[in-house]
Structure 1
Amino acid sequence: MRIDKFLWCVRYYKTRNIATEACKKGHVKVNDQVVKPSREVFPTDKIELRKDQINYRLTVNDIPENRVGAKLVDIYRTDTTPKEAFEAKELLKYSKDYYRKKGSGRPTKKDRRDIDDFYDNEDID
């Protein structure tokens, strides 16, 4: 089975086209080699892919016939991604909160409406 189809079948990518693009961009490695989307995958292959700033590592256990349900994914692959990768994503999420403090910079749509209401009420008095 092709690597792009396998990653789609085991639900790492929502569509096969997205999986193909990830392979073309070099985000997918099989046995430590960057691969094309047409690369065949066999059981015991080690796959490493980068998605959402996490380097996932998985081992192919079996090849599915077609796309499988979320509950059946563990039959076809073993996820060996270290927990530190997921913890780093949590830290990244917290760091993004501090780039723009609320109320600074360009006003939001709600802020603009509040300002307009304030000026409209001032004219009435």
Structure 2
Amino acid sequence: MRLDKFLKVSRLIKRRTVANEACDAGRVLVNGAVAKASVKVKKGDVIEIQFGTKTVKVEVLDIRETTKKDEATELFRYL
């Protein structure tokens, strides 16, 4: 699954266009490397997102095309 779509489905970032812009700005890292929005994400990958001064680091646990709001937190684990 594309990185921008995973960020939206997992609700780490609210909109796909915002996720796309964050990737273009170089604020999203996958396994320690700056990632474009088109990078394929798989289970076990570590995603790091920089929100201003705050950094969020998560591990991908599952990949789903769609998910309910309650189940979105099952897709990743905070590190």
TM tier relative to shorter chain:
over 0.9
Question: Which residue of the partner structure matches residue 20 of structure 1?
Answer: 20
User: 1:79: Cα distance to partner?
Assistant: 1.0
**TM-score where L is the length of structure 1:** 0.60
User: 1:57: Cα distance to partner?
Assistant: 0.3
Query: Hey, what's the Cα distance between the residues in 2 that align with 1:76 and 1:12?
Result: 10
Gaps of 5+ in 1: 81-125
Matching of residue 58 in structure 1 with residue 58 in structure 2: yes
Map 1:23-62; keep pairs closer than 5 Å: 23-62=23-62
Gaps of 5+ in 2: none
**TM-score where L is the length of structure 2:** 0.92
Amino acid at match of 2:72: V
User: 1:63: Cα distance to partner?
Assistant: 0.3
Q: Report percent identity of matched pairs.
A: 35
Larger Rg: 1
Query: Hey, what's the Cα distance between the residues in 1 that align with 2:11 and 2:52?
Result: 14
Question: Which structure has greater helix proportion?
Answer: 1
- After superposing on structure 2, the runs of 4+ consecutive aligned residues of structure 1 that deviate more than 2 Å are none
Cα deviation 1:1-59 (Å, max 9, x = unaligned): 00011001111212100000000000000000001100000000001001242100000
Query: Hey, what's the Cα distance between the residues in 2 that align with 1:69 and 1:21?
Result: 24
Q: What's the C-alpha RMSD, in Å, of the aligned pairs?
A: 1.1
Q: Which structure would you say has the larger RCO, counting Cα contacts within 8 Å and 6 or more residues apart? A: 2
Query: Hey, what's the Cα distance between the residues in 1 that align with 2:36 and 2:73?
Result: 24
Amino acid at match of 1:31: N
How many residues are aligned here? 79
Query: Hey, what's the Cα distance between the residues in 2 that align with 1:36 and 1:3?
Result: 8
Question: Which residue of the partner structure matches residue 78 of structure 1?
Answer: 77
Question: Which residue of the partner structure matches residue 4 of structure 1?
Answer: 4
